[in-house]
Amino acid sequence: MTGTRDEGERDEGHERPPGVGDTTVEALGALTEALESVERARGRLYDFHQLTGGADLTLDRAVELLRTAGHASHADLVEREILGRNVIPGCWTYQIVEAYDATYYRPFVEVEARVRRELVAGRQHLYEAEMKEARRTHGHPDHTARP
């Protein structure tokens, strides 16, 4: 497969700067992998927030139906004990999300970016880019170095 646009191409935005060693690239890969896990955890926290909020709103219908069915005392129980209840002491789910973002997520993002900026001029995914370069078939049109 000669003659494809791949020959001689490089993905310069994903090349390690001169003097950066293998262990540094591996460390940055692990740091970014950890951040990616935190991103996924944050998404699940938003799932928790939205699912819990949706459940609370659905309680309005349950309370209404209990009253309609003649179960006023049970409707009162649900309304008094569960509707609008804190999910942990003093907090609704949005407050948990805000605390996570302020206390953990944003500092993590900032530190990861700072480490990359200071060690590899801010370049991202060096570990993965080098893995791609090692694993791709040079000259194959679906294995090009860059888009």
Q: Is residue 15 a part of any domain in this protein?
A: no
Q: Is residue 143 a part of any domain in this protein?
A: no
> Residue 73 sits in which domain range?
21-134
User: How is 89-125 classified by DSSP, letter by letter?
Assistant: TTB-HHHHHHHHIIIIIHHHHHHHHHHHHHHHTT---
Q: Is residue 102 a part of any domain in this protein?
A: yes
The number of beta carbons lying within 10 Å of the beta carbon of residue 129 is 20
Q: Is residue 7 a part of any domain in this protein?
A: no
Tokens standing for 77?
């129980």
Three-class secondary structure of residue 74 per DSSP: helix
Domain count, the chain: 1
Per-residue pLDDT tens digits for 59-86: 999 999 999 999 999 999 999 999 999 9
pLDDT tier at 46, thresholds 50, 70, 90:
very high
The pLDDT value given to residue 2: 46
Task: Check pLDDT > 60 for residue 4.
Answer: no
* Rounded (10°) angle between helices 126-135 and 22-68: 110
Which has the minimum average pLDDT: 5-19, 39-53, 61-75?
A: 5-19
